[in-house]
Structure 1
């Protein structure tokens, strides 16, 4: 049950964000491992692992519910949570990291220059690997605050 005056998420929102977020992170890690360590030696040199494109497709698929969940944060969680000053830094950091991932993910598809694309890819997966740390900081900070109330 969601308390109308609190920033606490509904059960379904927690599950939507948790499942889509974990799926995004795992598919991103899977792609990263396959891309850098899963190449096979072919007739003309290293070849892409055949599973790599499927990992990218799965990553894109999991993005859809994650974006829906993130968009839902702007309805109640962020406005109601803004009054909690102890959470503000962690919440803003989480929003900034998510914005950087969304922007860099967009640039990976639409940035034309290969050098820019290489730097964008590096930034995207580096930030993405660190996302669980920022998320846990925000989440655990909120749990501690609720215990104090």
Structure 2
């Protein structure tokens, strides 16, 4: 059950976001490694690794619970947490990173032009790889702030 008076998340929300986020990170990093370093030698030269499309499918599958979890954050966690000024900057940075990741992922899927697609791709994988750092900063900063209040 969510904490009604605080910005703290319910344990199931934390698990949902951590598991889906880990799945997204691992499948995205796996795709990157396969795409740039995992080509296989085919009959006519280098070819896409057969696991690469499966990494992308897994990435999309992990996105579904992640988006559900993010929706919950923006309904309860963010509004209740806004008053915690010591945590605000870390929360804003994390929210911006997540917003750009979702937007750039959309552009990768639906953008038609190669220039826009190339920029979206670079933005998406750089921020995706950096996301755990933003999350850990937000999480540890929240723990530090709570310890100070006690």
Q: Shared fold by TM > 0.5?
A: yes
Gaps of 5+ in 1: none
SS for the counterpart of 1:112 is: coil
1:19 equivalent in alignment to 2:19: yes
1:39 equivalent in alignment to 2:59: no
Q: How many Å separate the matches in 2 of 1:124 and 1:16? A: 22
Q: How many Å separate the matches in 2 of 1:44 and 1:2? A: 56
Q: Which residue does the alignment assign to 2:64?
A: 64
Moved over 6 A (4+): none
Task: Render the CA deviation track for 1:62-99: whole Å, top value 9, x for unaligned.
Answer: 00000000000122110110000011000000000000
The Cα of 1:123 is off from its aligned counterpart by 1.0
Q: How many Å separate the matches in 1 of 2:99 and 2:2? A: 26
TM-score scaled by length of structure 2:
0.96
TM-score scaled by length of structure 1:
0.97
Number of matched residues? Answer: 149
Q: Which residue does the alignment assign to 1:124?
A: 124
